[in-house]
Amino acid sequence: MKKIKVGIVGGSIRNRWASATHIPALIKSEHHEITAVATTNMESAQQAAKQIGDIEAYDDYTKMLASKNVDMIIVSVKAPYHHEVVLNTIQANKHIYCEWPLAVTASEIDSIMRELSQSSIRHAIGLQSRQTDEVKLVKDLINKNEIGNVLSINMKVATQAKGNWVDASGSYILDRTNGATLLSINGGHSLDIVTFLFGRFTEVQANHHTHYTEARIVDHDQIMNKNIEDQYVIQGKINDHIPIAIHLQGGAYPQFLLEIQGEQGVIRLYQNRSIGHPQYGGLSVSLLKYDSTQTIISSQPDDFNLLMEDSKEAPLTNVYRAHQSFASDILWDQHETPDFHYASYLHRLITAIELAAQTGERIHTI
């Protein structure tokens, strides 16, 4: 069976995400072969190459793009560099898997989509929450009408990050120009779950709040200015008829909870040990069913039945499944993996939420 030859941009062993997820997932895969790695200096590239095996090492990713030994590129660098790497990869006619977000600004997204319109490459965006068994179970329960018509959706996403402290390596997330904000990262991955389960938003209203205007860099004992918001409160509708309320909060007790109220029950998707990133896995699903609200006198602690609890090695398992899905798209011309067209939609949704928060207006989305 033909294997997809993969080059990783940002494959340093110091890149905790790539070394903990992409590299072991691809080594495990029977459909992939890592053939090259590129970092910002040759020493780290050679270190990574040696650890992976007898593969090519580059300190300039554009030289890796010219290699005939590479079919597909993984973009696993910080968000501000995505636009450049993605554009160059499309122009090099290589398949591409890019971590979320696709880029930072709307103009960057537009330029990527224009370039993509002239290309036949396959592309995938790194939104792996939908690969979990728990999210798939929730979708199955909804599709089978287990709780009747959906009445409302509530979601709470909170993280200890993006508040009033940060370590030096993560300090870039507190500057909105770097594109790794509470709304774009925690919000983006969580909104993806909602759209995967129910469909697209048709309108949004929002407001945001900044409680902390500066943060302490804990490992340097320094103070830095912070220009990203701590909280978003979002209201909207999905498919014109399902109301949804979302609260995103940074610098708070970590939590992920998605609660779906139906005419005949309630579904809860949640993390018991959360850092506010549902894409990391560790999800659980609980279900409460009833014939009518008239049969519920009052809520009780044991009303909900646990249906599924994630005990897998996460987030590695989710990234592995995302790569398997994308391999099927490439090798057998399938269309199962969220791609750049979907990423463009999700970016437009986030832009609409930001605009609604800034203006106080209700924004109709597509």
pLDDT greater than 80 at residue 366: no
pLDDT greater than 90 at residue 12: no
pLDDT of 25: 96
Helix, coil or strand: residue 16: helix
Q: Average per-residue pLDDT in the chain?
A: 96
Closest by alpha carbon to 265, among 286, 287, 294, 241? Answer: 287
Compute the distance between CA of residue 209 and CA of residue 184 in angstroms, rounded to an integer: 15
Residue 306, strand partner residues: 286
pLDDT band at 350 (very low <50, low <70, confident <90, very high): very high
Closest by alpha carbon to 159, among 230, 254, 279, 229? Answer: 254
Q: The dihedral of CA 351, 357, 360, 364: what is its sign?
A: positive
pLDDT greater than 90 at residue 47: yes
CB contact at 8 A, 278 and 307? no
Amino acid symbol at 82: H
Token duo for residue 13: 């062993």
Amino acid symbol at 353: I
CB contact at 8 A, 232 and 252? no
The residue-averaged pLDDT of 332-340 equals 96
- Model confidence pLDDT, tens digit, residues 128-178: 999 999 999 999 999 999 999 999 999 999 999 999 999 998 999 999 999
pLDDT greater than 90 at residue 187: yes
pLDDT of 301: 84
pLDDT band at 286 (very low <50, low <70, confident <90, very high): very high
| Alpha carbons within 13 A on the beta-carbon side of 248 | 31
pLDDT of 13: 82
Chain centroid to Cα 364, Å, comes to 23
Residue 223, strand partner residues: 216
pLDDT of 136: 98
CB contact at 8 A, 88 and 65? yes
Q: What is the 3-state secondary structure (H, E, C) of 255-272?
A: EEEEEEEECCEEEEEEEC
Helix, coil or strand: residue 214: strand
Beta-strand runs (E) in 88-221: 95-99, 123-126, 150-159, 165-166, 201-209, 214-217
The residue-averaged pLDDT of 202-217 equals 97
Q: Which residues neighbour 226 within 8 Å (Cβ) at sequence distance 6 or greater?
A: 164, 174, 175, 210, 212, 213, 214, 215
pLDDT band at 292 (very low <50, low <70, confident <90, very high): confident
Compute the distance between CA of residue 9 and CA of residue 92 in angstroms, rounded to an integer: 14
Percent of the chain with pLDDT strictly greater than 70? 100
Token duo for residue 100: 């979320």
Compute the distance between CA of residue 186 and CA of residue 162 in angstroms, rounded to an integer: 10
Alpha helices in 6-105 (DSSP H): 16-17, 23-28, 42-52, 61-65, 82-91
Count the Cβ atoms, other than its own, within 10 Å of residue 272. Answer: 10
Compute the distance between CA of residue 76 and CA of residue 69 in angstroms, rounded to an integer: 19
Compute the distance between CA of residue 316 and CA of residue 50 in angstroms, rounded to an integer: 21
296 versus 245: the higher-pLDDT residue is: 245
- Model confidence pLDDT, tens digit, residues 95-134: 999 999 999 999 999 999 999 999 999 999 999 999 999 9
- Model confidence pLDDT, tens digit, residues 232-248: 999 999 999 999 999 99
